[in-house]
Structure 1
Amino acid sequence: MVVKRRFRQVFTSLKEHSRVSYAKIATIGGFCDLDLIVVKATSPDDLPLPDRYVHELLKIFSVSASSFRAFSLSFTRRFGKTHCWRVALKCLVLLHRLLRSLPDDSPFRSEILWTRSNGLLSLYPCHFLDDSSSASEDYTMFIRSYARLLDEVLDCLSIESKEAEEDEVLESLPDKMKEVGRMLEVLPQLQSIIDRVMDCRPTGASTRSFLVQSATKHIIRDSFICYTTFRKEIVMILDNLFQIPYRSSIAAFGIYKKAALQANQLSEFYDWCKFAGLCGSYEYPFIDRIPQIQVYALENFLNGMWQLTESSSSPASLLTSTMESPLSSTEDDSDKQLVIWEKVEENAFPRKLVKDEEEEPLLQWDVVDNGNWEDLLEASIGPCKASRNNLFYHSNGYGNNMGEYGQGEEANGWQMQLYNPYASNPFYQPQT
């Protein structure tokens, strides 16, 4: 078994070195095409990817439109046939640097997506298997993780291209709502890219390789930009949380909840990178930790503002059957309708919104524009001093005291009833 593995290592090394030698000889003889450039750029040595080959490819792309398709096919052949981790890693670094260097409207990205959609290029699942080293498992795992990261980046690019096509359809919507809707599509993809970045943590013998360390630095530096963009855009989503439709608010809460967990994981990953000496300590962005109590507060606040009921429920059962949390339910809510409270009268029951009204904004609440939504979240989990049957919001705010709901006089006879999330939410787990 050892002899067979050693034979594969020698054979792979000879094959890769012969390809590079042929490419160099052909270049000296006057033959120069993209295949030869890609082979020379991805030589099986321990030197990083030379910058001159990246600049040479960019120069060719600027003068020849057909070179994009030729490069995508050359890259597919080179990456798909090799069993040397050095060659595969340099192929991925080359693709990564070209994606970063070329503008958004370049045909390069569409050609790579075309190659992937036609089954010629497979980054995930990646079928690469190293046969050139004794620690093949460590290098194979890193190559596959890196390839999956680039596949996620291509997915994000495809989403952006689809959004550009849908802009004409959404012209009737306000600019702010269009931007919020776009970010609700992009932010989950950014979170997925951050997850893939953390999966690219080298292990075993690969941590000592200079090539792997150099590629990891490229990955980490791009993650700085990705996280900074995510942190800025999630603030915009939260600022407009009360103006977006119900389903969008649930999607925004899911993003916010995952961001709280992801921030802790990303902080640990960056600590490991700093300890390994990857990039300078001054380059790392500040990780905005989200306290778990804020996640609970936002969940309880949204649960208190919205209730779901079966479309066939009778008025007598509405008060007891609408306490299920929309944020924790896993059932299909296509046959359910939203319930809001109308003017408080004796024996009054909530009315059902018709299907056309389901996509109305989450809240039509003037106090949100004047106050701080963080204060509202803190109030939603604060101790409630009112009696169990007298939990009401006033239309002009929260009464005389944030903790004394329903203690003041009615404002114009309009009130909104809330349930106690600690008593009625079967999915709630108090923090220990």
Structure 2
Amino acid sequence: MQRRFRQVCSALKEQSHVRYAKIASAGGYSNMNTMMIKATTPDDVPIQDKYIEYFLTLFSLSPSSCHSFAITFTRRFGTTRSWRVALKCLILLHRLLRSVPGNSPLSEQLLWIRSNGLISLHPCHFRDTCSSSSHSYTNFIRSYAHLLDVMLDSTDFEDQQQEQVLELLPQLQSVIDRAMDCFPVGLAAQSFMVQSAMKLIIRDNFVCYTRFRKEMAAVLDNLLQMPYRSCIAAFNIYKKASVQSNQLYEFHEWCRAKGLCGSYEYPLVDPIPHIQIKALETFLSGMWELTEDEEEEKPLIDVEDDQVSWETLLETSVTFPHQNDMMSSFFFSSGHGHEDEQAAASAYNPFYQPNEHCGSFPRNPSYPWGL
């Protein structure tokens, strides 16, 4: 009975906010708070595009309004106990962040408010009291808020130096992890509003993974010309990607089964076999020993000709005596069949991809690589 009473009180409170917003708007007293309330009504109707356009226009005409919006958002999201209102607040914030540059006044104001403790997206203290299945909705809201909190810290990848890319790649991996955490269960998984939010999350995840894969490929192309510490940092990122790719594939399969986004939108998620990680780890360890150089700021291998590829260097490394028995057995396979050649190449070259796609991940030719 007490729980039901709290649900009724919360619902009445939200409805009173909406009625006030309508009266204020009709009387010509429309302001930031009124527009925020009208955009985040406690119903199952998606946020209308006119509210998104209103805020974006306001930000462009008056950058100082970003501060007012951040304060208003904090008040609305921080005081509501309705999962519908909280979810619409996050969707509104998400759509606005997608529409402004990474260094916009909006992002700066949100970071300032967060640093001063006026808002906490992580840990998120929201708790739903307006539904009978509060647990599933509460968990989804908190996971979504955590994702947006991480997105606020992410930086654009345009024109980044190699050292900066190695710092930013883990941020992309963190965004991907947080997106996969937004895994609705129970009644939340059946909600139309939650599914609308998931489409935003998934599409951003597509872009994030595509960018990560592109930048990771560029890093691997220059792996042997990096200083030792940078080389090890890149390897650790690649090692985490080998685990994350399997998790991401499972997540995409679940989303695809739910009909979230079109099948053609899903990017190819390449598996990274564990044997590639072990082969690369052994190779890098051996290459560093062969340099016999304690100056870690120098490249792992000095290459006179910049056009020499890592494939050539790997082939040369076959004759080095430091290779262990396991690697030697791969390098000098006695089999002469096509399958044996592919197996040897996979161990010999950590980035080798045979013509037939390895693993259980299907290729998606409808989604060309790169953005």
TM-score, length-normalised on structure 1?
A: 0.72
Residues 54 and 17 of structure 1: is their aligned pair in 2 closer, same or farther, counting only changes over 3 Å?
A: same
Q: Which residue of 2 aligns with 1:44?
A: 42
Structure 2 CA distance for aligned equivalents of residues 151 and 422 of structure 1: 45
Q: Which residue of 2 aligns with 1:362?
A: 300
Which of residues 190, 195, 201 in structure 2 aligns to 1:213? 195
Q: Which residue of 2 aligns with 1:108?
A: 106
User: How many Å apart are 1:372 and its aligned residue?
Assistant: 4.5
- Which stretches in structure 1 are left out of the alignment for 5+ residues? 165-174, 308-338, 342-351, 380-396, 407-416, 424-430
Q: Which residue of 2 aligns with 1:305?
A: 287
State the secondary structure of the residue aligned to 2:245. helix
Structure 1 CA distance for aligned equivalents of residues 325 and 167 of structure 2: 30
* 2:170 corresponds to 1:188: yes
Which of residues 12, 15, 21 in structure 1 aligns to 2:13? 15
Structure 1 CA distance for aligned equivalents of residues 269 and 203 of structure 2: 14
Residues 367 and 293 of structure 1: is their aligned pair in 2 closer, same or farther, counting only changes over 3 Å?
A: farther
Q: Which residue of 2 aligns with 1:133?
A: 131
Q: Which residue of 1 aligns with 2:96?
A: 98
Percent of matched pairs sharing the same residue:
55
Contact conserved, 1:304 with 1:421, CA < 8 A, in 2?
no
TM-score, length-normalised on structure 2?
A: 0.84
* 2:254 corresponds to 1:254: no
Q: What does residue range 164-313 of structure 1 map to in structure 2 within 5 Å?
A: 179-307=161-289
Q: Which residue of 2 aligns with 1:420?
A: 324
Relative contact order: is structure 1 or structure 2 higher (C-alpha 8 Å, sep ≥ 6)? 2
User: How many Å apart are 1:14 and its aligned residue?
Assistant: 0.2
Deviations 1:289-338, CA, capped at 9 Å, x for gaps? 1122211111000111124xxxxxxxxxxxxxxxxxxxxxxxxxxxxxxx
Residues 53 and 371 of structure 1: is their aligned pair in 2 closer, same or farther, counting only changes over 3 Å?
A: closer
Q: Which residue of 2 aligns with 1:318?
A: none
Residues 29 and 289 of structure 1: is their aligned pair in 2 closer, same or farther, counting only changes over 3 Å?
A: same
Residues 37 and 300 of structure 1: is their aligned pair in 2 closer, same or farther, counting only changes over 3 Å?
A: same
User: How many Å apart are 1:105 and its aligned residue?
Assistant: 3.9
* 2:124 corresponds to 1:142: no
Give aligned pairs, total: 328
User: How many Å apart are 1:420 and its aligned residue?
Assistant: 2.8
**Given residue 91 of structure 1, which amino acid in structure 2 is its aligned partner?**
C
**Given residue 25 of structure 1, which amino acid in structure 2 is its aligned partner?**
I
**Given residue 14 of structure 1, which amino acid in structure 2 is its aligned partner?**
L
**Given residue 280 of structure 2, which amino acid in structure 1 is its aligned partner?**
L
Q: Which residue of 2 aligns with 1:382?
A: none
| Higher alpha-carbon deviation: 38-47 or 56-65 | 56-65
Compare CA radii of gyration and give the structure with the larger one. 1
Q: What does residue range 276-425 of structure 1 map to in structure 2 within 5 Å?
A: 276-307=258-289, 340-341=291-292, 353=294, 357-366=295-304, 369-373=307-311, 397=316, 402=318, 405=319, 418=322, 420=324
User: How many Å apart are 1:370 and its aligned residue?
Assistant: 2.9
